[in-house]
Amino acid sequence: MHGTDIRLARLFDDESGRSLITAYDHGQSFPLGARSGSPRRTLEQIVAGGPEGVLLTPGMLAQHADLFARRGAPSVVLRADWTLLDEPDKHELGERYRVLVDPAEAVALGADAIVMYLIARPTDGGMFADNVAAVARAAQQASRAGIPLIVETTLWGLRNEDRKDPERLATVSRIAAEIGAHAIKTEYVGDPEVQRGIVETVGDIPVLTLGGARGDDDAVITAAQGAIDGGASGLIFGRNIWMADDVVGTTQRLSAVTHGRVR
Amino acid sequence: MHGTDIRLARLFDDESGRSLITAYDHGQSFPLGARSGSPRRTLEQIVAGGPEGVLLTPGMLAQHADLFARRGAPSVVLRADWTLLDEPDKHELGERYRVLVDPAEAVALGADAIVMYLIARPTDGGMFADNVAAVARAAQQASRAGIPLIVETTLWGLRNEDRKDPERLATVSRIAAEIGAHAIKTEYVGDPEVQRGIVETVGDIPVLTLGGARGDDDAVITAAQGAIDGGASGLIFGRNIWMADDVVGTTQRLSAVTHGRVR
Amino acid sequence: MHGTDIRLARLFDDESGRSLITAYDHGQSFPLGARSGSPRRTLEQIVAGGPEGVLLTPGMLAQHADLFARRGAPSVVLRADWTLLDEPDKHELGERYRVLVDPAEAVALGADAIVMYLIARPTDGGMFADNVAAVARAAQQASRAGIPLIVETTLWGLRNEDRKDPERLATVSRIAAEIGAHAIKTEYVGDPEVQRGIVETVGDIPVLTLGGARGDDDAVITAAQGAIDGGASGLIFGRNIWMADDVVGTTQRLSAVTHGRVR
Amino acid sequence: MHGTDIRLARLFDDESGRSLITAYDHGQSFPLGARSGSPRRTLEQIVAGGPEGVLLTPGMLAQHADLFARRGAPSVVLRADWTLLDEPDKHELGERYRVLVDPAEAVALGADAIVMYLIARPTDGGMFADNVAAVARAAQQASRAGIPLIVETTLWGLRNEDRKDPERLATVSRIAAEIGAHAIKTEYVGDPEVQRGIVETVGDIPVLTLGGARGDDDAVITAAQGAIDGGASGLIFGRNIWMADDVVGTTQRLSAVTHGRVR
Amino acid sequence: MHGTDIRLARLFDDESGRSLITAYDHGQSFPLGARSGSPRRTLEQIVAGGPEGVLLTPGMLAQHADLFARRGAPSVVLRADWTLLDEPDKHELGERYRVLVDPAEAVALGADAIVMYLIARPTDGGMFADNVAAVARAAQQASRAGIPLIVETTLWGLRNEDRKDPERLATVSRIAAEIGAHAIKTEYVGDPEVQRGIVETVGDIPVLTLGGARGDDDAVITAAQGAIDGGASGLIFGRNIWMADDVVGTTQRLSAVTHGRVR
């Protein structure tokens, strides 16, 4: 067992074997604007909810490192890359992808895991090829640095009509697994049995599902439960947690679903 | 506390917690022409004004290092990158951005902080993606080298109609904060309360406002006061200082505003 | 004799001097979809068949390393690069090639050999030039790292009408040999005597033939026998083995052909 | 004082504080053709003239190192980059710029200083941006390696109509100074007072003027004298010296002008 | 005297001061096809002819190292780069150039010298600029690694109408000399006196002429003699040797011409 395995195992609850990670890496790509308020206040609530991990960017980690510098604090999951997420910008400027931080830098920043995108079916084939190569390279570097790489597989490329197409999500998730992902973050496709097919095809690594745009509370819980029923090892939810009126309560409800303490 | 924090703290006046930095990095991008005279004479006046720091380029620092090589001299803030600023050139040649100096080289030159641009909404999406990646990489290198990185967030991209749009300045400033800026230099948007929203969204790092093209004396003081009222931790003013008839007096007036010794 | 030679020799059966390698690197480029099932189950059957080696990707090796971590297990042959294989994608996005893993990383992962593509006659001359340079560089790195490089020479470029043209396969295989391949994986052209010409022109290095898309059982055996009759030192077959109803039996039949224990 | 300063000072005559450098780096970009004769014979005459330095390329230095390997020999000033100089080629192929040698390699070759171009206003903005970045990087490397960098600022870009426009030469020379030049080589603009404006704007570094295409003897002397009168610290003349019928005599006449031993 | 000089001197016969090198690097770029036979048989004949050196690629050297691993064997001259040579391909794909091996790798492979192309007047100016930069960089690396770099200067660029134009060959050969070539391989232009102009303009480094496409026996001998008469220090002939019916005899005839043992 190597550092990568030790750190990956620590992301998951010892009893349930599952993990709830709150994502708060949106400000790097989304237009938050001048009324979004202090990130510290938001992060304090996220941490108070008690998820197993928090996904955030290098700058937010550096600014708020004190929130994570205590025994029992959530694991730090670092966003290591960047893509253009704003739809009008993507159409006007072309799709774009860049790596921002390498695994050794992530370890130096205090991170316990890193997340990188693998964005299927962009209009520019060079971007996909570069993305595949960047993730593969990072997987080797992460193994050397002793930190796990979670690959976020999406159908955000502009050639996709259905961003939850199970066949295409399975294919891109398998590609991520083949090139070295230590875990997968992907969409919940809406059907536990179909989701199970995705979970199986990536092999012996955990799959966590993402929350996406803010939805209705019941729908969010249903999706979370469906993902767990479909074999997911956890959730990485963002806007459905930190944009909620009650961040702590929402985290706790999703945590209960994640760890099977509901129904 | 690391070297980056020590050096960042030293940029700010111990009592007011704020900083006035005189920018003199224009010759690298602006057409100064054959009648601009000796940079030494200008820098001597800038230093005589007693700002907390002076922003200048590697070449000007190397030539005039003696002005900064004494106890109590202004901090040296180094311009580490380059962009095409001349508007006709930008239209004719396309927008361009390059990194010139890395953080370790800046430390070797005697700098106490570095400044890099993050230019929002250029027409070429590749330039923005490269700019994001370059700043993120420099933020990691700066942390390792022990020198703070001030990111100058602007709406200079040719897709902007309003270069002081508060929402877009907030968004690009937040991106800079997410990817690792240790401080922000940005526009004053003309309204202290709106400015406060920008200051809040970047989190626990100082925001300094820039002066821009030379303006009427009263307007300059009003903008400086508005920025401070809006929560700015200081000013980085250039042409409104060194193009003034009385460089020393102008510095002192802006210093008084910065440190709250007026009204 | 150097590590590269020792490891290359170990790929081949001591008695017959030949090798059967089962390829299972398809998931990195082919759309396997949500119903492809667990890779572990497939790999267990592949290993149970007892080939001399198994070709797989870095992620699949890392996940299933236990299957290869015992004395007498098949050699690990690592796919070190990536190309766009889906035909509609190639037409829509352009052909693409990237290196994913370097030889020293392959050794660290536990690999005994690496495989890289040399794809002749793509529509983009830059891709071919980059491919030649990447294989040549990897050949030098592989020699230094002590691991053999098998170059898979193909006519998959979109300028080819006949993907089994013997003249063009001979030319690209010779290019691979000139730039440093330690062994060649290429098509069986359907005629043992013509195949022998390809085997001769690459010089003193072994040639293994590939299986390609799944075919009729008898046709597969005939092609395997023809390749061996034409001087091939072995087979690297994938879909014709792991998509078979009886993976172990199919492996054994092909093994018998490879080592000349039939007829 | 650092190696860079020591070596820069040694380029200049101790008494006059000025320097005459004979440029013989033309063969790398100009079509010299089959009748240009032996470079050794030319270099022997250049050295016999007794200039303070000789500007030449890495290959010519390596071949004729013996001419410079004696006490009192001219300093070696190395051309470290390359550009397409032939006008028809520039129109047909686009303008091009490349760095050939880095400062540490120049020191290893025995050079005392290096020269690099900064070519203003090419039609391709990417070339100018790359040129700025290359010179800035070399300036830092040169400082580390302990060798001065002379930046040759020109208006050779195809967007220029007047290659001696004083405003534009001042601007590009100032850019060179800002990004770290230790000395400037530029055009004489034809008027000592206007030239003085260029000399002043680059600050506390020496300016040497270039000779350009071969001219009438009297015109050459007049231009040399004008440059010195305008504050130049020396001359870097090439074709007007080594294409002259009397290389030694011409060098001596220009040396007299340079060091103020005429009139 | 440095390793580069020692190894360069050893390429030349001690008595005549000249060298015959047999080139066998064609398989990397030419379509040899399925009937070209075993390279070992060809190389054995080449070596039996007793030339001073054999030019071959990294893969052919590695495969047939035993032929060169004995006292008195021909020197190993390694082809270190690659270009698209097939004319229809060049028109369809654009001209291409890549470096495959660096000088230190060549030394590790057992080479005594390396050969790189400098291809004048391609249609793409970026290719020529990259070629110049690659050769210049390799010249510095070769000097450090202690191995001589022979630059093969050609008019193979598609903008050339006459591939033996003496003026243009002189110019590109001089460029090669300026950027650091330790020796030149170029065309024989058909007239010893004109050839002498090329030999002179490159300075104090040896010039060897190339053989090109297979020609009539008498014409080949005449060209060889003309080159020697024009000041060439040797020949690098390929197809006119190894495609000959009597490889050993042809080598001996050309050797006699090279060393002046005929007439």
> Can you tell me the ipTM of this complex?
0.96
**Is pLDDT of D16 > 70?**
yes
Predicted model pTM = 0.96
- Can you give the pLDDT at residue E8? 96
> Do E174 and E132 contact (CB within 8 A), yes or no?
no
How would residue B2 be classed by pLDDT, with cut points 50, 70 and 90?
confident
Give D179-202 pLDDT, tens digit per residue.
Answer: 999 999 999 999 999 999 999 999
pLDDT computed for residue E247 by the predictor: 97
How far apart (Å, rounded) are the C-alpha atoms in residues B201 and B187?
A: 15
Strands E97-99 and E81-83: antiparallel
Q: Tokens in use for E131? A: 């070629």
Nearest to D35 among E128, E140, E197 (CB): E197
Question: pLDDT value at position E218?
Answer: 93
| Close Cβ partners of B226 (under 8 Å, ≥ 6 residues apart) | B188, B190, B191, B192, B195
Pairwise CA distance, residues D138 & B58, whole Å = 12
- Residue D52 phi/psi, 5-degree rounding, is -70, -30
**β-bridge mates for residue A209, sequence order:** A186, A235
Residue D36: closest CA among chain E residues belongs to which residue? E201
Instruction: Answer yes or no: are the C-beta atoms of C110 and C68 closer than 8 Å.
Output: yes
Integer Cα distance of E169 and D33 in angstroms: 8
Does the beta carbon of E62 lie under 8 angstroms from any beta carbon of chain C? yes
CB C238 within 8 A of CB C211: yes
Provide the residue-wise pLDDT of chain E in tens; the chain has 263 residues. Answer: 789 999 999 999 999 999 999 999 999 999 988 888 999 999 999 999 999 999 999 999 999 999 999 999 999 999 999 999 988 889 988 999 999 999 999 999 999 999 999 999 999 889 999 999 999 999 999 999 999 999 999 999 999 999 999 999 999 999 999 999 999 999 999 999 999 999 999 999 999 999 988 989 999 999 999 999 999 999 999 999 999 999 999 999 999 999 998 65
What residue spans define the domains of chain E? 3-247+254-258
**CB-CB: which of C32, C93, C99 is closest to A170?**
C32
Name the residue among A180, A117, A141, A204 with its Cα closest to residue C56.
Answer: A180
Say which residues have a Cβ less than 8 Å from residue E162's Cβ, sequence separation at least 6: E155, E168
Q: What is the pLDDT of residue A263?
A: 53
Determine the residue among E101, E114, E115, E127 to mutate to test chain C binding: the one whose Cβ has the most chain C Cβ atoms within 10 Å.
E101
Closest CA of chain E from C218, distance in Å: 27
B177: its two tokens = 């904060």
Q: In degrees, to the nearest 5, what angle opens at C-alpha D44 toward C-alphas D41 and D49?
A: 130
What is residue B263's predicted lDDT score, i.e. its pLDDT? 54
Chain C residues with CB-CB distance to E57 below 8 A: 178-180
For chains A and D, having 3+ Cβ pairs within 8 Å is answered no
Contact partners, residue B213, CB within 8 Å, separation at least 6: B239
3-state secondary structure chain B: CCHHHHHHHHCCCCCCCCEEEEECCHHHCCCCCCCCCCHHHHHHHHHHCCCCEEEECHHHHHHCHHHHCCCCCCEEEEECEEECCCHHHHHHHCCCEEECCCHHHHHHHCCCEEEEEEECCCCCHHHHHHHHHHHHHHHHHHHHHCCCEEEEEECCCCCCCCCCCHHHHHHHHHHHHHCCCCEEEECCCCCHHHHHHHHHHCCCCCEEEECCCCCCHHHHHHHHHHHHHCCCCEEEECHHHHCCCCHHHHHHHHHHHHCCCCC
Convert the pLDDT of each residue in A157-187 to its tens digit: 999 999 999 999 999 999 999 999 999 999 9
3-state secondary structure chain A: CCHHHHHHHHCCCCCCCCEEEEECCHHHCCCCCCCCCCHHHHHHHHHHCCCCEEEECHHHHHHCHHHHCCCCCCEEEEECEEECCCHHHHHHHCCCEEECCCHHHHHHHCCCEEEEEEECCCCCHHHHHHHHHHHHHHHHHHHHHCCCEEEEEECCCCCCCCCCCHHHHHHHHHHHHHCCCCEEEECCCCCHHHHHHHHHHCCCCCEEEECCCCCCHHHHHHHHHHHHHCCCCEEEECHHHHCCCCHHHHHHHHHHHHCCCCC
DSSP 8-state assignment for residue D19: E
Residue A190, number of CB atoms within 10 A of its CB = 14
The predicted structure's pLDDT at residue C262: 67
Q: What is the rounded distance in angstroms from the CA atom of residue E22 to the CA atom of residue D197?
A: 61
pLDDT by residue (tens digit) across A228-243? 999 999 999 999 999 9
E133 contacts D82? CB cut-off 8 A: yes
Do E27 and C177 lie within an 8 Å CB cutoff? Answer: yes
Contact yes or no for E32/E40 (Cβ under 8 A) = no
Confidence category of residue B144, pLDDT binned at 50, 70, 90: very high
Contact E167 D93 (CB under 8 A): no
CB-nearest to A96 from B126, B137, B194 is B126
A119, A171, A178, A191: which to substitute to probe chain C, counting the most C Cβ within 10 Å? A178
Q: Does D126 touch chain B (CB under 8 A)?
A: yes
Strands B19-23 and A234-237: unpaired
Neighbouring CB atoms inside 10 A of D245's CB total: 7
Pick A34's closest partner by Cβ from B124, B175, B194.
B194
* Class of residue A130 by CB neighbours under 10 A (exposed 0-12, middle 13-18, buried 19+): middle
Task: Give the distance from residue C108's alpha carbon to the nearest chain A alpha carbon, in angstroms.
Answer: 9
Strand partners, B152: B117, B185
The verdict on A93 touching C (C-beta cutoff 8 Å) is no
Q: How far is CA B224 from the centre of its chain?
A: 14
pLDDT tens, residue by residue, A103-142: 999 999 999 999 999 999 999 889 999 999 999 999 999 9
Q: What is the pLDDT of residue A78?
A: 98
Report whether D186 contacts D169 (CB < 8 A): yes
CB distance from C161 to chain A under 8 Å? no
Q: List pLDDT tens digits, range D232-263.
A: 999 999 999 999 999 999 999 999 999 998 65
Nearest to residue A97, comparing CAs of A146, A166, A154, A141?
A: A154
Q: Which residue of A has its CA nearest to B178?
A: A59
What architecture is the C3-247+254-258 domain classified under in CATH?
A: Alpha-Beta Barrel (3.20)
A181 touches chain B (CB under 8 A): no
3-class DSSP state for residue E144?
A: helix
Mean pLDDT of all residues in chain C? 96
Asked if pLDDT for residue C125 goes beyond 90, the answer is no
Looking at residue C136, its pLDDT comes to: 98
The CB density around residue B219, as the number of other CB atoms within 10 Å, is 10
